[in-house]
Amino acid sequence: MNERHRFLRFPIALATLLLVAGVTLAQSVTIDYWHGFTGPDLPIMEGLVADFNAAHPGIEVQAEAIPWGNLFQQIEPSVAAGRAPDVVAVNEDVITGFILRGALEQLTPEMLAEHSIEPERFFQSLWSIGMVDDAVYGVPVHSVMLVMYYNTQLFEEAGLDPNDPPQDRESFLEAARALTVDTSGRHPGDAGFDRNNLARWAAGVPTPWMGGTIAYSVAAQNGVTFVGPASDDFPVNFNSDEGKEAVQFLVDLVTEHSVSPANATEESEIAAFRQGKAAINLNGVWMVSQYQEAGLDFGIAPFPHLGTGDYRVWGGASHLAMPVQRRGDPEEQAAALTFISWMTQAQQNLTWTAAGGLPTQAEVADHSDYQSNPMTAVKEALPNSYVLTGFPFIAQLRGAWDSGFEAALLGDKDVDRALDDAAAEATSSIRDGLLSLPDR
Amino acid sequence: MISTRARRPPLLRLDDSNPLVPYLYLLPQALLFLAFVVFPIAFGIYVSLHRWNILSDRQTFVGLDYYTAIFTAGTPQAQFFWKTMLNTGFFVAVSVPLLIGCALGLALLLEKPIAGRGFFRTVFFLPTILAVSIMGLLWRWMFENGSGLINVVLERIPFLNTVPFLTTVGWAWVPIIVGTVWWTVGFNMVLYSAALAGIPRAYYDAAQLDGAGTFATFRFVTWPMLAPVTLFAAITTTIASFQVFGQPHVITNGGPLRSTQSVMMYITEEAFTNFRFSSAAAMSMVFGLALLVIAAFQFRLMLQDTGRGNS
Amino acid sequence: MATIAGTGRTGVAVGSRRRRMPRGIIRFVTLSLLAMIFLAPIYWMATTSVKSESDTIARPVQWIPEEPTLENYRAIFASPNATFLRWTWNSLFTSVAFSLLSVALGVLTAYPLARMRFPGRQTWFWILLGSMMVPGIIFLIPHYLMMIQLNWIDTYNALIWPGVPGAFGVFLMRQFLVSVPLELEEAARLDGANSLQILVYVLVPFLIAPMAALGLFNFMAAWNNYVWPLFVVHGDMQTLPVAITTFSSRYWTTYGKLMAGTAIASIPVLIAFLVAQPYFIRGMSLTGLKDE
């Protein structure tokens, strides 16, 4: 795709030049746009960009898809070298860091108003991700959540109703026991049940990141906020009794209830779900097209309410933002804002949800065309997605949490020690992170 | 030509008698050497003494803060730097003897002519030409927890269970080390093969006359004659192993629980993910100095060259 | 110089083989088993890549694919951002450029160090030699920050230049240049040749083999470099070996496609190796052994 664009660029440039010179039409502005939608969502993103270009003769957006990890490594060097893209997509866990290190341009109220980007349109939980101290730096373009996929055929075989998937702790455990069978056909709890030779199981509790994400959701349902207020330098609180209860519950799924194989990974669980070995897969909304392609009979439900408090679930988002330009060109900036505005309108968001993303605004969620989307099953959970954001050390905090959970799950440490150690690690990372922030 | 030489002062002569000629040949390399070897060393030290922010025009001087952090218990830098150092040390301690021993074993097996010798040598050398990413992807799939070849075989052997290699602390080293041996043993094998071919036949004949058996011949003739190669291979392999990056990066991505994360991986994480270039530069210096000690040893050996065969 | 085939001892060895047949058989069987183990990953890659997704994880395992298919390869080539040709070109161009430049600089620099007398000769040689001891990790961060300053992120320049002044080539070329007889050079000088002509027409012919070996060694080193390209170039500018891991990460759980991608990146290299194989091992030992 990019190759083709490059070949086209010369004739296009030439044609533009001729037009400008001869007819003195409005000249075309070229906008570079980097994003990380490299999966099955890529063609849809490219289609949207093509639509934008067709609808805006004065602006040519050149999109480049770069895997997220690489993309985030590139943003600051490109800003420093003065060749940053005009628009970039950034995720909830890194955006605050980029803002605080001065890599992103503020979107002033005037800019937002002039380009009809109305904050009220978006879910506030998403909108606030792009803000630091009341200043706006990004506009939500993409939203994701942890959901539950389940194999309807296996549900029927186990005598469960595929139209009524388990949604709380008790029904989840009950369904999980029914779904788990060892190679001689025994269920957990039966005499002679062999937990080391499972033929089928409910849902593997995996490591590292996805396991941490599941544990994060259960802990959030137990009321854990992970860190305290910024004014106290973000005190880490995930090793509270509630946090430990959440982790212990997930560890017990493996050790006590035997409804998950030991040593599951995110990849092995995806493979097992595709093979019809795992009846349930807890993963992000982005898996849907892969499972559809695999020809599975599966249903989608909100991530179950496994915690003891209010319903919460892990959520994430991508925002469109403008990297700082060494030579600010007002025309390019205006074009970039036009693009950001267009891309985040309800109509485009609706198109985008076909790629597996969730609506960023209520208008889309309630739109009649959205109701046929398989993810409408989790619509109710949308307002309850709990996004960790607002400080620049999320990667370190999540790193500590994930490895603490991993240590507990793999039996490396008991839950108490695993989470206490992880909290100590997170605390020192945050202290260190606060020190290394540039003076603002 | 002669007349020019007579008239002009030496530094302005346009032929080989100009004393600046040798420097002219040195110049292109010297310029690049200053720019990409000498300057970066100084620049790296400079960066490590500041809090480097690539988006800022002026950098805050912090002195030795990033160095003391590495040696102060309780900082994340100290915790992870030394943990990954230990991981790396473990990798070196296990892989280097294997890479020397297996290479010598293969070279000895191939020493005497045998049907298909060229084929075997090619096969054993073949993996060394692959990129580390290819090697990593191959072994990741070989050791995959469920359907990898190794576990498929283990499944079939009675009384053995499959092992979730990629996700178990300890076992996760197996794919990395097996993969590394497979990948690089061919290189040391070639070194040994060449050295074996260079041992004069007369030494073996003399040993045979003395009634030495196979083992005795190896112990008292072959092994001492191979000493320089062994040392050379041991040191180059050690230095390369300390800088291990690609194998754990592709096969386990450092997991589980950072148990296979190498110090190189941690330094790049600190720089490119956490954007703490100064901290990473300080760690590079500390780690680099440690390697320098080993390298200095190699340097001495290279100077002594051959002639140590009987030591 | 070191050679691989110990031809001198063939006669003796053949005799001893005839006397000890059983041992020869044991050795042959051992070697065959080892060869099978060495080839297993490549065989496993090739067969996995032509299996359908359900067959890659099927039990009993299919040692020989029952219904071979090229579907994985088709899917890989059809997938967005799969610019294999571009990545291959990036790797080829930068590896060749790096290799040629460092061989040329190595010869040019080694020449006065080996064949001329001038103040500072020893000092400069020691400085170059000493630089070889400095571990690569020291350069990673400063080089990266320099690339930002030079605006060389995502360019071929970043892949080519930083490694070019490495002293290994200078050291190697000097070792060989020192051994060329002085008389040849003097004869040429009497014929009126200048220093550059002496280098090109008298000395370089002696250096062809080591230059080729060094070139090959440099090419391999550049082609297989992993850490540096991983961070300094991205997307379309990536080199093939690094791109293949980034690209593959989206197929972690679809092993057929994963191995098809791996095969696409490795089979051309394997074939090239098999064709050039005799030169290859000899070249490796030439540079690896230096003057052992």
Structural tokens at position C257: 């496609």
Written as one letter, the residue type at A176 is A
Asked if A432 and B77 count as a contact pair (C-beta separation under 8 A), the reply is yes
Q: What would you report as the CA-atom Rg of chain C, rounded to the nearest whole angstrom?
A: 25
pLDDT higher than 50, residue A7: no
Q: How many angstroms separate the CA atoms of B120 and B89, rounded?
A: 32
List own/partner pairs for B114-123 with CB under 8 A and 24 or more apart. B114/C17, B114/C24, B114/C27, B114/C28, B114/C31, B115/C28, B116/C28, B116/C31, B119/C35, B120/C31, B120/C34, B120/C35, B121/B189, B121/B193, B121/C4, B121/C281, B122/C274, B122/C277, B123/C35, B123/C38, B123/C39
Helix/strand/coil for A315: strand
Please name the residue of chain B whose CA is at the shortest distance from the CA of residue C129. Answer: B299
Q: How many residues does chain C have?
A: 292
Residue C160: closest CA among C94, C99, C110:
C94
Structural tokens at position C130: 């000493």
- Tell me, what's the pLDDT at C113? 94
Q: How many angstroms separate the CA atoms of C66 and C174, rounded?
A: 57
Q: What is chain A's mean pLDDT, rounded?
A: 88
List own/partner pairs for A175-181 with CB under 8 A and 24 or more apart. A175/A202, A176/A202, A176/A203, A176/A253, A176/A257, A176/A259, A176/A280, A177/A202, A177/A257, A177/A259, A179/A154, A179/A155, A179/A259, A179/A279, A179/A280, A180/A258, A180/A259
Asked if B186 and B126 count as a contact pair (C-beta separation under 8 A), the reply is yes
Identify any residues that bridge with A278 across adjacent strands, giving them in sequence order: A201
- Mutation choice for A interface testing from B51, B66, B144, B167 by most A CBs within 10 A: B167
Neighbours of chain B (3+ CB pairs under 8 A): A, C
Structural tokens at position A259: 């409804």
Measured in whole angstroms, how far is the alpha carbon of residue C260 from the centre of its chain? Answer: 23
The model's pTM:
0.86
- Residue C280 DSSP label: H
Q: Tally Cβ neighbours within 10 Å of residue B242.
A: 22
Average pLDDT over residues A130-154: 94
Give residue-wise pLDDT tens across range A164-179.
999 999 999 999 999 9
- Residue C80 DSSP label: T
Phi, psi of A146 (to 5 degrees): -80, 130
Measured in whole angstroms, how far is the alpha carbon of residue C162 from the centre of its chain? Answer: 17
Cross-chain residue pair C80–A42, CB shorter than 8 Å: yes
Residue given tokens 């905090």 in the structure block: A397
Kindly give the interhelix angle for C21-49 and B132-142, rounded to the nearest 10 degrees: 90
How far apart are the CA of C253 and the nearest CA of chain A, in angstroms? 6
Q: How many angstroms separate the CA atoms of B59 and B51, rounded?
A: 6
Residue B22: which residues within 8 A CB-CB, separation 6 or more?
A: C112, C116, C118, C121
Return the number of CB contacts < 8 Å for A and B.
79
The pLDDT tens digits along chain B (311 residues) read 444 555 677 777 777 778 889 999 999 999 999 999 999 999 999 999 999 988 888 888 999 999 999 999 888 889 899 999 999 999 999 999 999 999 999 999 998 888 888 899 999 999 998 999 999 999 999 998 778 899 889 988 888 888 889 888 899 999 999 999 999 999 899 889 989 988 888 888 888 888 888 888 898 889 999 988 888 888 889 989 999 999 999 999 887 888 999 999 999 999 998 888 999 999 999 999 999 888 787 767 666 654 443 33
Q: What percent of chain A has pLDDT over 70?
A: 93
Cross-chain residue pair C153–A66, CB shorter than 8 Å: no
pLDDT band at A1 (very low <50, low <70, confident <90, very high): very low
Chain A interface residues facing chain C, Cβ-Cβ under 8 Å?
1-3, 38-39, 42-43, 46, 64-67, 70, 73-74, 77-78, 80-83, 267, 270-271, 274-275, 294
Please name the residue of chain B whose CA is at the shortest distance from the CA of residue A266. Answer: B167
Cross-chain residue pair A70–C153, CB shorter than 8 Å: no
Q: Tally Cβ neighbours within 10 Å of residue C157.
A: 16
Q: Tally Cβ neighbours within 10 Å of residue A30.
A: 15
- Residue C200 DSSP label: I
Please name the residue of chain C whose CA is at the shortest distance from the CA of residue B251. Answer: C245
Q: How many angstroms separate the CA atoms of B85 and B252, rounded?
A: 17
**Residue among A77, A271, A428 minimizing CB distance to B146:** A271
Q: How many angstroms separate the CA atoms of B225 and B229, rounded?
A: 9
Cross-chain residue pair B130–C291, CB shorter than 8 Å: no
Number of Cα atoms under 13 Å in the Cβ half of residue B246 = 26
Please name the residue of chain C whose CA is at the shortest distance from the CA of residue A80. Answer: C148
Structural tokens at position C256: 């057929």
Please name the residue of chain A whose CA is at the shortest distance from the CA of residue B268. Answer: A73
pLDDT higher than 60, residue A23: no
Kindly give the interhelix angle for B277-304 and B223-242, rounded to the nearest 10 degrees: 170
pLDDT higher than 50, residue C8: no
- Tell me, what's the pLDDT at B123? 93
Phi, psi of B60 (to 5 degrees): -80, 130
Q: How many angstroms separate the CA atoms of A171 and C171, rounded?
A: 73
Q: How many angstroms separate the CA atoms of C255 and C248, rounded?
A: 10
Cross-chain residue pair A82–C235, CB shorter than 8 Å: no
Q: What would you report as the CA-atom Rg of chain A, rounded to the nearest whole angstrom?
A: 24
Exposed, middle or buried: residue B151 (CB in 10 Å: 0-12, 13-18, 19+)?
Answer: buried
- ipTM (interface pTM): 0.89
- Mutation choice for A interface testing from B154, B163, B257 by most A CBs within 10 A: B257
Lowest-confidence segment of A32-36, B171-175, C43-47, C220-224 by average pLDDT: C220-224
Asked if A250 and A233 count as a contact pair (C-beta separation under 8 A), the reply is no
Question: What is the secondary structure of A379-393 as a DSSP string?
Answer: GGGGGGEE---SSTT
Give residue-wise pLDDT tens across range A284-326.
998 888 888 888 899 999 999 999 999 999 999 999 999 999 8
Q: How many angstroms separate the CA atoms of B300 and B235, rounded?
A: 11
Measured in whole angstroms, how far is the alpha carbon of residue A373 from the centre of its chain? Answer: 18
**Residue among C5, C231, C245 minimizing CB distance to B133:** C245
Cis peptide, bond prior to residue C268, ω within 30 of zero: no
Q: How many angstroms separate the CA atoms of B148 and A272, rounded?
A: 14
pLDDT band at C286 (very low <50, low <70, confident <90, very high): low
Chain A interface residues facing chain B, Cβ-Cβ under 8 Å?
69, 72-73, 76-77, 79-80, 97, 101-103, 196, 207-208, 262-265, 268, 271-272, 324, 395-396, 403, 406-407, 410, 412, 425, 428-429, 432, 436, 438-439
Neighbours of chain C (3+ CB pairs under 8 A): A, B
Identify any residues that bridge with A299 across adjacent strands, giving them in sequence order: A150
Lowest-confidence segment of A108-122, A159-173, A354-368, B29-43 by average pLDDT: A354-368
Q: How many angstroms separate the CA atoms of A290 and A356, rounded?
A: 10
Chain B residues with CB inside 8 Å of C109's CB? 25-26, 28-30
Q: How many angstroms separate the CA atoms of A60 and A338, rounded?
A: 11
